[in-house]
Amino acid sequence: MRLAIVTAYPPSKVTLTEYGYYLVKHFRLQEEVTELILITDRTEEPKDLNFSEDGCKITVKECWSFNSYRNIFGISKTISETKPDAVLFNLQFLKFGDKKIPAALGLMLPYICKLKGIPTISLLHNILEKVDLENAGFTKNRLLQSVYNLIGTTLTRFVLASDVLAVTISKYVTILENKYKVRNVALVPHGAFETPPEPDYELPTGPKQVMAFGKFGTYKKVEIMIEAVELIRQRTNEDIEIVIAGTDSPNTPGYLGEMKEKYSHVPQIRFTGYVAEEDVPKLFGESAVTVFPYTSTTGSSGVLHQAGSYGNAIVLPDLGDLSTLVQEEGYRGEFFDAYDTSSLAQAIENILINEEYRIQLGKENYRAACSLPMSAITQMYIDYFKAIQKSKKLGFDMDVSSIEKKLVH
């Protein structure tokens, strides 16, 4: 199988870049894949393809740019020229731009692949039906929210033109099947990026690091975490360092710079900026707690799976998708009220003051991450592609439910 993957890819800063990297890392080791064709966004620096193991041939085609109106043409042309046996799209609603038209045009590509007759799977990390448009930085205007929902419904139908639409949370399957009356939606869990050897759960000497990781400014707000740690410092003797790892969300440029200035009086606070892939293990390995200072959720969380892979204790808001993910995949942590600083402070403190509890949470999260390695996830996609090819050869429509029964068996 010559498999094309349409994705942002390191050193890109576009959303889902990291997930694209790990898809490639594990697809290249699947014996059914003879060549990976990476249809990626353009970057000044070369793509990160320095994998330690041998694998299949990788061809890189840089043919699109964030917010470009020409992405739909560049990607479609590249697919026609390279003639892959199958295409996988790594998508969310702002994948191709945070401007309305480029974002919308990009989401029409699965439909174009259907017209070309190419077996196509779209992995959609979020669905508009579960996105808080105000918190996610789209718009506060109620009328515009209604317009966005209408547009989102139309764009979802284009993505549903894929032979299989994969989602990472079970309730997304139910929502899409009921609303759009389709039967080609499959649950494919997010998966753990890495399954490194089990850590020793020991922390480095010095202050305990309370860390948040991501793209901040829309529904990911660092103020509540900083102020929660300040509360803990006032009532305990804990030596704590606040670590804010990552960059601004594309929708809120300059946010972290404002936070750095606003909280310049707070001691032991570190803004790391962009974290390179090779520095991620150290970041999580030195953290006592990984905090999710979110006011909303937009799908499955890559940071949650990374925290599990490195044996971290986690503190997270009791919000829809995160709560569901924890229940479905076996993660454990302390929950807090997303708008209550004292609630977050108590949740962090419960872990920091109890070393045995911190280690217990870390061990359970490591086990949860190891139960869904990315190698198993990419094999699921291979099985779906085989089923799509077979159905096309026999001339009948895909039946996702029957395929899932075989996969479970």
In a domain, 198, yes or no: no
Task: Let me know if residue 81 belongs to a domain.
Answer: yes
Same domain, 258 and 142: no
Same-domain check for residues 156 and 224: no
Cα-atom radius of gyration of the chain, to the nearest Å? 21
Q: Are residues 219 and 239 in the same domain?
A: yes
User: Per-residue pLDDT tens for 159-218?
Assistant: 999 999 999 888 889 999 999 999 999 999 888 887 778 889 999 999 999 999 988 998
Least confident residue range of 203-212, 225-234, 289-298, 331-340 = 289-298
Are residue 125 and residue 33 in the same domain, yes or no? yes
Strand order in the sheet with 269-273: 269-273, 240-248, 208-216, 287-291, 313-317, 334-336
State the pairing for strand pair 120-124/287-291: unpaired
Q: Report yes or no on 201 lying in a domain.
A: no
Q: Does 197 map to a domain?
A: no
Handedness of CA 333, 334, 340, 342 (dihedral sign): negative
Same domain? For 44 and 183 the reply is yes
Q: How is residue 133 written in tokens? A: 């448009």
Same domain, 68 and 139: yes
Asked if residue 252 and residue 159 are part of one domain, the reply reads no
Angle at CA of residue 301, ends 300 and 304, nearest 5°: 135
- Is 177 domain-assigned? yes
pLDDT of residue 59: 96
pLDDT digits (tens, 9 = 90+) for 236-267: 999 999 999 999 987 788 999 999 999 999 99
Beta carbons of 184 and 163 less than 8 angstroms apart = yes
Whether 246 and 274 map to the same domain: the answer is yes
Which H/E stretch holds residue 347? helix 341-352
> Is residue 94 situated within a structural domain?
yes
pTM of the entire predicted model? 0.75
117: left (phi over 0), alpha (psi -120 to 50) or beta: left
Q: Which of 298, 301, 1 is nearest to 121 (CA)?
A: 1
Indicate whether 379 and 343 sit together in one domain: no
Quick one: pLDDT band at residue 144, thresholds 50, 70, 90?
A: low
Total structural domains within the chain: 2
- Regarding whether 168 and 251 lie in a shared domain, the answer is no
Is 104 a member of any domain? yes
Torsion of CA 212, 218, 221, 223, to 10 degrees: 140
At 112, which CATH number? 3.40.50.2000
Report whether 107 contacts 113 (CB < 8 A).
no
The dihedrals phi and psi of 249, each to the nearest 5 degrees, come to -65, 145
Domain that residue 395 falls in? 2-191+373-408
Task: Classify residue 200: in a domain, yes or no.
Answer: no
Verify that 24 and 155 share a domain, yes or no: yes
> In this structure, are 265 and 316 located in the same domain?
yes
What are 69's two structure tokens? Answer: 């109106």
**Phi, psi of 191, rounded to the nearest 5 degrees:** 85, 155
Chain position carrying tokens 């003797």: 237
Which string of DSSP letters, residue by residue, matches 275-298? --GGGHHHHHHTEEEEE--BSS--
